[in-house]
Structure 1
Amino acid sequence: MAGTPRTDTEQLMELLSQSLSAYYGEFTIAAASENLTASQGKVLTVLRRGPAAMRCLASTLTCDASNMTGIIDRLEKRALVRREPSASDRRVKNVALTAEGERVTDAIRAKMHATRDGLDRLSDEERDSLHALLERVFITPPAS
């Protein structure tokens, strides 16, 4: 549209910051309702994608490996995750969700009403566009 100012990178970064703050605030409350810390909830969410090595989890959540061990110990004690040997390297332990871990992860997401309501207001086309844009910004590596 002619005459409409373009949104600059700083404005987008601010909107992303506000959006992520709202999302993680709601996520933290939902995780707490399941007697989990936000970090424990994040681990379950990451494991929803599939089993992962402890080192990979620490890297993904940008925390120290020793901290990750404590988080996994507490989740394992509640039977939300299990450690299993890696198929490719027996020295490595992968962490996987249990059925109870999947149930808790689903319960956390189900309690995120503001996020769900916001996404539900989008049309199918808008959802597809948002998905493609988020993937492009955060998932797809830049071309070399």
Structure 2
Amino acid sequence: MELLSVCLGVYYGEFTTAAASENLTASQGKALTVLRRGPAAMRTLARVLTCDASNITGIVDRLEKRGLVRREPSTSDRRIKNVALTAAGENVADAIRAKMRTTQAGLDGLSDEERASLHVLLERVFVPPTGP
């Protein structure tokens, strides 16, 4: 647990600094990171960012004002708004990732097999199983 705490502290500190260099809060930066996987409903973003729905509205409003995300109607339910990255948002997300040199150097020091093992282990620890 202690080593995990240290690792997450280093990652979060580096991520926060990288996001701030792009004039974003850590939450705004994390929203861009989540949206790299594809458009997401506002409710999903709130859950992933572990924040209240009213907070996610403010985060998305500020990102949208900067042209980093756009709201789109859901194809399955017109009451739901999905949030998607714009090209500018992708560029900023890439810039944040590029500035995370300590994290990247650590990952680069692993072989492909070690990175794959780390991925599997992190999923086992942090991603809840799906299904009934």
Aligned to 1:74: 62
5+ residue gaps, structure 1, are 1-12
Shift of 1:143: 8.4
Tell me the alpha carbon deviations over residues 38-78 of structure 1, each in whole angstroms, 9 at most, x when there is no partner.
Answer: 00000000101111111111111111111110110000000
Query: Identity percentage over the alignment?
Result: 78
Aligned to 1:94: 82
Q: Output the amino acid matched with 1:100.
A: A
Structure whose CA Rg is larger: 1
Which consecutive aligned stretches of 4+ in structure 1 deviate over 3 angstroms post-superposition? Answer: none
Aligned to 1:47: 35
Shift of 1:139: 2.2
Q: CA RMSD in A?
A: 1.4
Q: Normalising to structure 1: TM-score of the pair?
A: 0.87
Residues 1:130 and 2:118 are matched in the alignment: yes
2:109 to 121, 133, 137: 121
- Classify the secondary structure of the residue corresponding to 2:9: helix
Q: Normalising to structure 2: TM-score of the pair?
A: 0.95
Aligned to 1:57: 45
5+ residue gaps, structure 2, are none
